[in-house]
Structure 1
Amino acid sequence: MAKISPCFKKIFIFFNSLFAIFGIVVFVLALLAHQFANEPNGLHGVILLYVIGSVIFIIAVLGAYGAYKESKCALIVFFTVMCLATIGMLRIAVPMAAYRQELISAVRQQFGTKEVFNKDVENALDSMQAHLQCCGLNGYEDWKDQAPESCNCVNEHGPSGKCKKITSRKSYQNFWQDHGSESRMVWSQPCGPIIIEYLDKLITIVTGVLFGLATLAILGGLMSLAMIVRVSAPETAIHLSSFPLSYQPPKYSEVVNS
């Protein structure tokens, strides 16, 4: 069997070791996120992290093993996975980069419709309004007279225009209490533009990561293909036994008398 260059092999194993460590880091992050994920939607993201971390680790170990043992079968599997991963990532990254503005415009337009407001959206807004210091997708008017407590402006003496005084229905109404209204300060900034800004940054990061990983996958595929070709090449050893090693003088020699 033909030998792979030791330097080439070490470089390939080194990069696969880095990817194996990266897979472990992703898996550990999934474990940490699992402790804080209570809702089903959050668990879906955690499960995806588990799968991504495990797949990266397994593929990296397979590639390192194939190079170290010069296993043609392992290298072929690694090469196939790299090709599939490259195609999959480019199929996501290219349309995402090409239709980025259209996607953001569609989300912005959807925020302006009433159909977007449902129980899930309201729960998501309620959890992010206090953190983002905003109220409603398009403003506090989205809640009409039932703005939740997460809209309450905790910095009433902040910059001008940051808080808005509104009159809302009391949330603690019962038979004995007054069914009236109350005045309070809420965040005047809508959450929609902030969410769109975060979405724009997220698309940029995801697209860059996908293109970067696709480039590394192409590089890994080419390196594994070179090793497959080298391992598959027939051995061209020279057998010295086929050549005579002993010297035999010629049968006839001319004697020159001096």
Structure 2
Amino acid sequence: MGAIIMVLAILGAYGAHKESRVALIVFLVCMVLGCLVMFKYAVPVAIMRPQIEGIMEDKFRMFLPLDENSKDMKNMADNIQKTFHCCGLFSYKDWNNIPESCKCNLEEEEEGKCQTVGYRSLMERSTSIYTQTCFPIIMHYVLLGFDIVLGVFFTLAILALLGTILSSAMIHQMRYPNRPTILLTVPTVLSTSPPKYEELYNPPPY
């Protein structure tokens, strides 16, 4: 992707500097195609973004209870819980047997990040686990990834649109070289007339 963008930028710069109509036309076609492709992928992603949380929730609920999944899935859940200090996808009840990765240390208990729950077996004592569940944290990073992708797509689409407009204007100017070029001028604010105090206190000589 980076190499393609660099080649197109060099092509556009060459066409503008050398006033090469062929290079500018090729650049224009590439910009139009690039703009259409970017919008083709960006619009579905933008439409899908509000629905992604519900889709992910339905997918993750298929893995419950977590104890009954494959060893790789349980290891992944343990690693997520250790990294983000959370317990379960939606609740600690996602585990039949609460793993060690859910348990808090004394410092985290003092910070108020934990809750005390009892095991399902009455013979076992209660334990302190993380209050935060893992699904909101996972969704935060998933939506962040969606936002980054959307930002990249729309930024490239806008740049391609600007390239289309500029190259079209240059091609039009080269096609009709005798037409006067419209120049935008800034009105002059400064005046060369003498200050008002000179007009008042410096009378004209007799």
TM-score by length of 2: 0.64
CA contact (8 A) 2:92 2:98 kept: no
Match in the other structure for 1:139: 91
Alpha-carbon spacing, 1:182–1:105, altered in 2? closer, same or farther (3 Å): same
Q: Give 2:110's aligned amino acid.
A: G
Secondary structure at 1:189 match in 2: coil
Match in the other structure for 1:95: 44
Compute the displacement of 1:94 (Å): 1.5
Question: How is 1:1-258 mapped onto 2 (pairs within 5 angstroms)?
Answer: 52-114=1-63, 122=74, 124-145=76-97, 147=99, 149=101, 151-154=102-105, 155-160=107-112, 162-164=114-116, 185-231=128-174, 233=175
Q: Give 1:88's aligned amino acid.
A: V
CA contact (8 A) 2:35 2:161 kept: yes
Runs of at least 5 residues in structure 1 that lack an aligned partner in the other structure = 1-51, 168-180, 237-258
CA contact (8 A) 2:87 2:134 kept: yes
Task: Return the alpha-carbon distance in structure 2 between the equivalents of residues 211 and 161 of structure 1.
Answer: 39
Deviations 1:186-218 (A, max 9, x none): 423221122223333443443344223312210
State the Cα RMSD in Å: 3.4
TM-score by length of 1: 0.53
CA contact (8 A) 1:140 1:147 kept: no
Match in the other structure for 1:250: none
Compute the displacement of 1:220 (Å): 0.8
Q: Give 2:83's aligned amino acid.
A: H
Task: Return the alpha-carbon distance in structure 2 between the equivalents of residues 161 and 144 of structure 1.
Answer: 22
CA contact (8 A) 2:115 2:130 kept: yes
CA contact (8 A) 2:114 2:128 kept: no
Q: Give 1:194's aligned amino acid.
A: I
Secondary structure at 1:75 match in 2: helix
Alpha-carbon spacing, 1:222–1:121, altered in 2? closer, same or farther (3 Å): farther
Identity score, percent: 37
Deviations 1:42-81 (A, max 9, x none): xxxxxxxxxx322222222222222122223322232222
Secondary structure at 2:110 match in 1: coil
Q: Give 1:91's aligned amino acid.
A: K
Alpha-carbon spacing, 1:128–1:96, altered in 2? closer, same or farther (3 Å): same
Compute the displacement of 1:146 (Å): 6.6
Q: Give 2:104's aligned amino acid.
A: C
The total of aligned residue pairs comes to 171
Secondary structure at 2:153 match in 1: helix
Runs of at least 5 residues in structure 2 that lack an aligned partner in the other structure = 179-206
